[in-house]
Structure 1
Amino acid sequence: MAHTRPGLRLIAAMEACKGLISLVVALGLHELAGRNLQQVAEALVSHAHLNPASHLPGIFLHAVKSLPDIDLSLLAIGALAYAVIRLIEAYGLWKGLLWTEWFALASGAIYLPFEVYEMLTRSSALSAAVFVLNLLVVGYMARVLLVQRGQASHPR
């Protein structure tokens, strides 16, 4: 379907970006695993020549200190799994594989109720933009699949 290829490729590029960002997060979490996060945060504030007693650096240091003792390795594995899924989806959409079109529809639609809830409870321009973008992607994928179904039921 030549007329849908640019839209699918745009969505594939967005998914690839999400996958690459998740991969960077996974690598960063892997690097931090086993380290004392409080020491890492203090070193970061010091390296940036920020005053740890001032407002924003103080909030950052307090937030790191408040983190529960978590295993960053598990978070890194989760981020890596998410990255792999997004990159496979991006490849499939780029190549026009039907199963990835269904997957893109489902994986986009699953977030819509949470995005609506977010806008209702903590409305912001960012949450509205994310919702609208996701709604456009889900609507586009539904349209692509409906057009394909219509063409399959009415062969030439």
Structure 2
Amino acid sequence: MKVVKKGLRAVAVLEACKGIASLLVGFGLHVLAGHNMRQLAENIVSRLHLNPAGHLPSIFIHAASGLTDARMGLLAIGALVYSVIRLVEAYGLWQGLVWTEWFALVSGAIYLPFEIYEMIFHTNLLGIGVFFINVFIVAYMAYALYNERKMQREHSL
């Protein structure tokens, strides 16, 4: 049972990191609201010594141009909600709450079809790494829940 608890805590730390990162993104979006996002994107591209007419920098500049204050606010709220969900999940996993184990299993499994699609049509090392980490977490959560059910059945006999 010790191995399962350590694994749950490792997943809890990962979820907490995702929650904190999302919280930082949300605050960053809030702080940037009201700024000229196109100008900011052009400054970033310039400081990185990238060609603004290049494919990726132009996509970045174009995307930043479409960010209105209302969209930034919605993105910040979305980041906050996602952060709260991840931090609650992290707390529950750290405490060994069974409902958060189920939540981690389901929420991780939901992403798998999208990650498979991305790997097939837009293969990159980061996407492959994220996919395998997610598969490992989903498999681990299934194992932890199976192990818990098995222990409950043994105690009821």
TM above 0.5, one fold? Answer: yes
How far apart, in 1, do the equivalents of 2:146 and 2:54 lie?
A: 53
Question: 1:153 Cα shift?
Answer: 1.3
Question: 1:8 Cα shift?
Answer: 0.7
Question: 1:56 Cα shift?
Answer: 8.3
Output the aligned Cα RMSD.
2.4
- Any stretches of 5+ residues in structure 2 without a counterpart? none
Query: How many residue pairs are counted as aligned between the two chains?
Result: 154
Secondary structure of the equivalent of 1:34?
Answer: coil
Q: What is the TM-score when the length of structure 1 is the normalising length? A: 0.86
How far apart, in 1, do the equivalents of 2:45 and 2:114 lie?
A: 34
Pairwise mapping of residues 1-156 of structure 1 onto structure 2 (< 5 A)? 1-44=1-44, 48=47, 50=49, 55=54, 59=58, 60-65=60-65, 67=66, 69=68, 71-155=71-155
Q: Larger deviation: 115-124 or 16-25?
A: 115-124
How far apart, in 2, do the equivalents of 1:143 and 1:58 lie?
A: 44
Q: What is the TM-score when the length of structure 2 is the normalising length? A: 0.85
How far apart, in 1, do the equivalents of 2:122 and 2:57 lie?
A: 25
Secondary structure of the equivalent of 2:2?
Answer: coil
How far apart, in 1, do the equivalents of 2:52 and 2:125 lie?
A: 31
Q: Contact 2:45 / 2:52 at 8 angstroms: preserved in 1?
A: no
Determine which structure has the larger helix proportion and give its number: 2
CA distance 1:54–1:111, shift in 2 (3 Å): closer
Q: Contact 1:50 / 1:57 at 8 angstroms: preserved in 2?
A: no
